Amino acid sequence: MSDDLVTLSVDGVEVSVPKGTLVVDAAKKIGNDIPVFCYHPKLEPVGMCRMCLVEIGLPMRDRATGEPLLNEDGTPQINFGRGLQTGCTVQVSPGMVVRTKTDPVEQARADVIEFLLTSHPLDCPICDKGGECPLQNLTMRHGRGNSRMVFADKLHMEKHVPLGDLIFLDRERCIQCARCVRFQDEVAGDPVIGFHNRGRHLEIATLSEPGFDSYWSGNTTDICPVGALTTADFRFGARPWELTPVATLSPHCPSGSNMTVSTRREAKAGGRSVIKRVMPRQHEAVNEIWISDKDRFVHHFAESADRLTQPLVRKNGKLVAASWTEALDVVAGKLQQAGTAVAGVSGDRLSNEDLFLFQELFRKGLKSNNLDLANGRLAGGDIVAQVGISSGSNLKDLGKGDVVVVVASDLHEEVPVWWLRLKQAAERGAAIVTLNVRGTRLDKYAKHALRYVPGEAVATLRQLVNQSKVETDGQSDDPIAAAAATVGSAGNLVAFYGAEGLTYDETESVAKLLANLLLLKNGDGHAGKKNNGLIPVWPHNNTQGAWDMGIHPSFAPGYKALPEAGLDAHAMYEGAASGTVKALYVLGADPIGDGLMDGRGKLDFLVVQEMFLTATAAAADVVLPAQSWVEREGTFTNAERRVQRYYPAITPVGDSRADWQILAQVGERVGLGKPALAASLVFRDVVKAVKQYKGMDYRSLAKYEKQWPDVGGDDLYYGGNAYENRSGLGQQWVAAAESGKVGMFEVAETAVKSSPGLKLVRTAALYTPGTLISHSAALLGPRMAQPTLSLSTADARKVGVADGNRVEVTANGMTMTATARVGDAPDGVALISGVAYVPGTAVVQIRKLQEEKVA
């Protein structure tokens, strides 16, 4: 037996567990459920609630000789001490004997339940947790059924306290286990709630303004073992047993967070099946059991009253309702008429099936390579295919000796799940190196926080990469050299790169330089090894899939280079304005609304496939109503190249159709043959065309295995209310470096263009207004990011702007108004957040607006 394993017996059953395991976890491994309230496998044990009291005995030893004392029959003598011990704080030791079913233990459990219920209001019939409540379940299992406490002496406290806009607190129901407080401190790193007062009057209070200011607040409701914390969204929405859980994926985030939507048919919605809540679904390699509030609360757009319900065709200058047959005939006819002057842009929130058929329609049906993402911010999909993070990697495995490099990205605002997991990696001992134009939240956990001057990101990164090649002692005053020494000594190396303040071309250079960093040491580098590789911080949930499916002017599906590249999105928009592009197909994107395209220009024909009447759709000749992600099935590929399935959850809105269906029907009309009847069949064609997806099908993507810790199931008290994953863990495709040698990338030297003037850099904010979030009810309204311009104190003085002033910002011909914040930016840089995407760094003009007189 290995030295790291410890054998103990729990109720007579022998179990071997790693050293340092807690008694409750050891018992759990053999299916012995020791009840807990305050303990949670993802949090540090505190032993506050006393529910896990058990008898723990240790083998006795002779004091003089140290030899084990034996009974007459040869069994070791066990000393159980004088009292019960908390199973959640005691670590296992060899020969330990645990008894969990004895009378004193049962008595203790009943007593603890009795105490916890002294002031509990017993309002289970109306409680949102009722039915999936650990307190309710454990009371039924271990409680006495009556109480010696006087009912009339119950303490009455506030029932409905808003902790911010999203979470409500019921002070009577709270059993003071501190799971929420500890989650915010330990896991989320946002210590914005805390205990106030003592004893019976102890209560949870929010310490931030606005209240409960964290992107993770919803998770506290999942791990709350009672109904004290509930979401504003689900308040009185339904009883948990009435809900139908359907597995889905985040429609926003490139991490591919696994979620479950709980649906129910609703009379208020005319008998339709609607989403009642969104909960996390366990995937320990993706999002563990956490989801950000954006994933949890931004789903209402699917049921918005503004959704398009039928095809619209422009007649006499007006968009009027039409039949599908008519609309599709018009689209197919007009696209074919345009000949080679046809082009297509797509959003990156659509499924792989949609994007693949879009590509088939253009390349095979219309014989055009004019295909691109509508708003390509980040390049390097082809580089990720070479040196992307190796399959089987898990950010949870990163720890001491490992290094994570994050370039040009604010992960806390862009992909909160990664921020959370990197923070935890740093706490386990991994060194984080950030390289940004300004300070980000991750800097607090970073070993080296480097800065680059706007426009010089590539040069600075090149310096870092070059110096990492050289062996140094790590003792250097130069921050880049010090960081390079850290990177050079990395055990495992993971590199993230984003697009903050970078142009599209610069992101490509950054990706290549990081790829070289991973490939250093002549092929014996990091790339291709487990827990090593490149992760792009894509803007949306399926940007990776769009690259894989060949939504690119110069790549066919599977990154096959095309002999002749088509127009990129920028060229298409210019072509539309000048008239060289005659027909444009816009799939799930809003280039006019995003300011990328200046109206429809000289286009003969514009077709938009959308959920809402966006600015682009309003200018179109035909608008095809598409279904949202919860109405149909499909697959998304996350930035770690994990292909995952999601399932249909609610009744489709109106006469809308799934994107892949619409595209297949247009395809049929341009001569691509009978459309596929199911998304799974389209995926079969995807697998044939994309060699990286070989071996995948809908069945293999739905495979799952038991994960640790246990969540869901009957033992809700243990891991919280997150759903167990029974719908598939997905499959990661293999990067080229894993199966063969990959050469270094050439990155051309670019002359550093230093131009005078203040540079504008757009920074991300999680709740930046957009089509989906704006159609998602008023819940997040107060939290929405407002346009904000941050300047350094010196720069603010130069342009004569004070904190809180309204300013007009002009850069690259775009004008925005924003509120000024002084002091948060480095010198020479103006940071703007809460606005649509602005690429690169542009010289900015700032004009103070006259204060409006307040009457």
Partner 1 sequence: MFGEIVKGLYTTLKHLFQPPVTVQYPEIKRPVRNRFKGRHELKRYENGLEKCIGCALCAAACPADAIFVEASENSDEKRFSPGERYASTYEINMMRCIFCGYCEDACPTQAIVLEKSYELSFYDRASAIYTKEMLIVDVPVNGRSTPQVVEPGIFNRAIPEMEDPK
Which residues contact partner 1 (rule: CB under 8 A)? 121, 123, 125-127, 130, 156, 159-160, 170, 172, 235-236, 238-239, 241-242, 266-268
Question: 235 or 400, CB closer to partner 1?
Answer: 235
Q: Is 357 helix (H, G, I), strand (E, B) or coil?
A: helix
Measured between alpha carbons, how far is 329 from 510 in angstroms, rounded to an integer? 45
Question: 244 or 466, CB closer to partner 1?
Answer: 244
Question: 230 or 424, CB closer to partner 1?
Answer: 230
Q: What is the per-residue burial (b if ≥16 Cβ within 10 Å, else e) of 748-779?
A: eeeeeeeeeebbbbbbbbbbbbbbbbbbbbeb
Question: 82 or 156, CB closer to partner 1?
Answer: 156
Q: Of 292, 228, 224, 225, whose CA–CA distance to 256 is shortest?
A: 292
Question: 118 or 819, CB closer to partner 1?
Answer: 118
**Max alpha carbon distance in the chain (Å)?**
103
Minimum Å gap between C-beta 132 and partner 1 is 13
Minimum Å gap between C-beta 724 and partner 1 is 22
Handedness of CA 293, 446, 406, 794 (dihedral sign): positive
Question: 130 or 439, CB closer to partner 1?
Answer: 130
Minimum Å gap between C-beta 124 and partner 1 is 8
Q: In whole angstroms, how far apart are CA 140 and each of 109, 134, 319, 543, 639?
A: 12, 10, 60, 48, 44
Could you tell me the two tokens for 76? 């070791």
Tokens 């303490």 belong to residue:
155
The residue type of 24 is V
Whole-number CA gyration radius for the chain: 29
Give strand ranges (E) for 408-489.
Answer: 431-436, 448-451
Question: 242 or 427, CB closer to partner 1?
Answer: 242
Report CA dihedral (522, 528, 530, 532) to the nearest 10 degrees. Answer: 70
Minimum Å gap between C-beta 155 and partner 1 is 13
Given a contact cutoff of 8 angstroms between Cβ atoms, the answer to whether 701 and 686 are in contact is: no
Question: 267 or 854, CB closer to partner 1?
Answer: 267
Measured between alpha carbons, how far is 7 from 4 in angstroms, rounded to an integer? 10
Minimum Å gap between C-beta 228 and partner 1 is 12
Q: Of 709, 710, 685, 689, whose CA–CA distance to 698 is shortest?
A: 685
How many helices, marked H, and strands, marked E, lie in the chain? 24, 37
Question: 141 or 160, CB closer to partner 1?
Answer: 160
Could you tell me the two tokens for 307? 């959704």
Question: 172 or 590, CB closer to partner 1?
Answer: 172
Minimum Å gap between C-beta 123 and partner 1 is 4
Question: 235 or 367, CB closer to partner 1?
Answer: 235
Measured between alpha carbons, how far is 228 from 225 in angstroms, rounded to an integer? 8
Minimum Å gap between C-beta 742 and partner 1 is 58
Minimum Å gap between C-beta 206 and partner 1 is 21
Question: 39 or 168, CB closer to partner 1?
Answer: 168
DSSP H or E stretch at residue 255: none
Minimum Å gap between C-beta 117 and partner 1 is 15
Listing DSSP states for 159-181 in one string gives S-EEETTTEEE-TTT-----HHH
Minimum Å gap between C-beta 239 and partner 1 is 5
Q: Is 86 helix (H, G, I), strand (E, B) or coil?
A: strand
**ω into residue 709 within 30 of 0, thus cis?**
yes
- Name the packing angle between helices 103-116 and 134-142 (round to 10°): 140
Chain center to CA of 633? 19
Minimum Å gap between C-beta 126 and partner 1 is 4
Minimum Å gap between C-beta 170 and partner 1 is 8
Could you tell me the two tokens for 179? 């799971």
Minimum Å gap between C-beta 127 and partner 1 is 8
The residue type of 739 is S
Question: 269 or 794, CB closer to partner 1?
Answer: 269
718: Cβ contacts below 8 Å, ≥ 6 apart: 28, 33, 36, 40, 41, 709, 710, 711
